[in-house]
Structure 1
Amino acid sequence: MLSDYERKVLRILYNYNSGRRRLPTFHELTVKTGKGRPDVMAALNALMDAEYIHWDDKSDTANIVILEGWERESEKPKLPKAPPPAQPRNLSYWTEY
């Protein structure tokens, strides 16, 4: 499962690639995430290890290939089911007046 920061970096990469037809630079990633270059590099390495991106030449972010743009369904945390809505108990006010 991806951390929030790793998911954020993945979404930035995907959205930049979709909207601008290019990948963000290191400077743009640091501005968009609010973190420094070491944190961005750690997130990119984690995305590589989890096989969300492929990045052989680490000299530039333009060499990144996005393999999956979304977090995998099997890795998302399961949310508990919501209880059914409560039924009103006293309907006489609405039906008799």
Structure 2
Amino acid sequence: MLADIERKILRILYNYSAGRRRMPSMDELMIKTGKTQKDITRALINLEDQLYIIWDNKKLVESIRILQGWEQREKPARPTSGNTDYWTQY
């Protein structure tokens, strides 16, 4: 599960790439998020570790490539018993 800042940055990156056909600069990310450069860099590294983005050149935010534009949602586990649960629990 993504932290709030990571989710926000991921959405900003996605919206910039789709709407403006480019990635935002670090200054634009700082304005949009209200966070420091250190906080943004930490969040971007976390996004890369969780395979949401690829960030080859850590000096340029513009070099980021998005792998997933949305947060992954965990699917609920399916019951292992037969269909009797439907009749007894619902």
Structure 2 unmatched runs, 5+? 76-90
Deviation at 1:32, TM superposition (A): 0.1
- Residue of structure 2 in register with 1:14 after alignment: 14
TM-score by length of 2: 0.80
Q: Equivalent residues in 2 for 1:1-97 (5 A)?
A: 1-74=1-74
Using structure 1 for the length normalisation, give the TM-score. 0.75
SS of 1:74's partner is coil
- For 2:38, the aligned partner's letter is P
Structure 1 residue ranges (4+ consecutive) displaced by more than 6 angstroms after TM superposition: none
SS in 2 for 1:73: coil
Q: Give the match's secondary structure for 2:59.
A: coil
For these two proteins, the number of residue pairs brought into alignment is 75
| Aligned AA (1:20) | R
In 2, Cα distance between equivalents of 1:18 and 1:74: 26
Q: Deviations along 1:17-74, whole A, 9 cap, x unmatched?
A: 0000000000000000001100000100000010000011111111101000000121
C-alpha RMSD of matched pairs (Å): 1.0
Tell me which structure has the larger Cα radius of gyration: 1
